[in-house]
Amino acid sequence: MKLSGLVKVVSDTEQQLRQLIRRFLPTIDANSCQISLVEGLSGKSWRIADQKVSLLARPQTVQRQQLGINRRREAAALKRCGPPLAPRVILQQAGWLLVEWLPGECVDPETFNACLYNGQLAATMAQLHQCGCSGYRINLQQQFAAYWQQIDRRRLTPRWLAWQRYFSHGNMPTPLMLAPLHMDIHADNLLHSAGKLQLIDWEYAADGDIALELAALFRFNQFSSTQQRLFLSDYSQHGYRDLARLTQQIARWAVWVDYLMLMWFEVRWQQSQDSALLQQGAALYRQFCLPTKFSC
């Protein structure tokens, strides 16, 4: 987007948010509060701050919808899993979700590894998975179908078509245990505050199998086999107890997570034309789309 276009978007969005504040949040001074842009992997959000409060405003845009983001579903998950694990929902209205801005900095890679090795990450995720379901079930096959309509047709291959048929109509693993899932846990979505971990950016949260969440955690963060065993040993002390069965179920979900990642990278690249996204998904593209001696 050109600079002039971005300036107009920022100006229009600020005006829209100030009108929203005047109507639904009268305790905030809509004229004097500061509204600033916050960039994320899935798109733009906005921080609203005055002397009393600090909020994060997340829009429901066509681009977000194409990525599978639903603010109503996100709000339901946050209300189930809220403080201290997640930010509090302040307002859901007129295509916007406003949540409290949690203080603190996202964890760095060193802290993330420390939380993995001391068991804090596993304990936090077990706490998440013990919250009540939100009522919004994740539907991977529906998401694959939606993503399929948005990818660059010039990149399609016969092998990719075969995988799409498999994932669209194949039998998914039968859930071990249904729970609210965050589905985007990595260092940038974790805050370390007062000795505890908090989760932010719940855009992809929905109810689903705990093993799907753990498969996503392992694949997104490229955990080694040693790191996976360590995490699961700690997790089984707080959450699902049958470690052998959980390990097998995570392995079943792994290929589904890999395909989800491929499709997300492809759709997000279509939206942004950022070549870095294709580079990040290159290994997945070779895995699913280019000829090999293996078939789906």
Cis omega before residue 26 (within 30°)?
no
d(CA 34, CA 87): 20
Are the C-beta atoms of residues 177 and 210 closer than 8 Å to each other? Answer: yes
What is residue 51's predicted lDDT score, i.e. its pLDDT?
A: 87
Q: State the Cα–Cα distance between residues 108 and 125, nearest whole angstrom.
A: 18
Establish how many alpha carbons lie within 13 A of residue 117's alpha carbon, considering only the half-sphere containing its beta carbon: 8
pLDDT band at 210 (very low <50, low <70, confident <90, very high): very high
Note the pLDDT of residue 26.
92
Confidence at residue 286, expressed as pLDDT on a 0 to 100 scale:
97
Residue 7, pLDDT score: 54
Mean pLDDT for 137-144 is 97
| 109-289 belongs to CATH 3.90.1200.10 | yes
**CATH 3.90.1200.10 boundaries in the chain:** 109-289
Mean pLDDT in residue range 248-272: 97
Per-residue confidence (pLDDT) for residue 3, from 0 to 100? 47
Structure confidence by residue, pLDDT tens digits, 19-40 = 999 999 999 999 999 999 998 8
What H or E segment, with its residue span, contains residue 100? strand 96-100
Q: What is the pLDDT of residue 296?
A: 56
Rounded to the nearest 5°, which phi and psi values hold at 84? -90, 0
Average pLDDT over residues 154-171: 96
Q: Which CATH superfamily is domain 3-100 in?
A: Phosphorylase Kinase; domain 1 (3.30.200.20)
CB 173 within 8 A of CB 253: yes
User: What residues does CATH 3.30.200.20 cover in the chain?
Assistant: 3-100
pLDDT exceeds 90 at position 157: yes
Q: What percentage of the chain has pLDDT greater than the value 70? A: 95
For 221, residues 6+ apart whose C-beta sits below 8 A from its C-beta are 112, 185, 186
pLDDT range class, residue 10, cuts 50, 70, 90: low
Contact partners, residue 259, CB within 8 Å, separation at least 6? 144, 163, 167, 284, 288
Residue 264 pLDDT level (bands cut at 50, 70, 90): very high
CA distance linking residue 131 with residue 176, whole number of Å: 16
At 44-94, the pLDDT tens digits run 899 999 988 999 999 999 999 999 999 999 999 999 998 989 999 999 997
Residue 9's pLDDT is 58
Gap between the Cα atoms of 84 and 28, Å rounded: 24
Task: Name, in order, each residue with C-beta under 8 angstroms of 231's C-beta and a sequence gap of 6 or more.
Answer: 116, 121, 122, 214, 217, 218, 223
Q: Read off the pLDDT band of 4 (50, 70, 90).
A: low
The whole-angstrom separation of Cα 75 and Cα 88 is 9
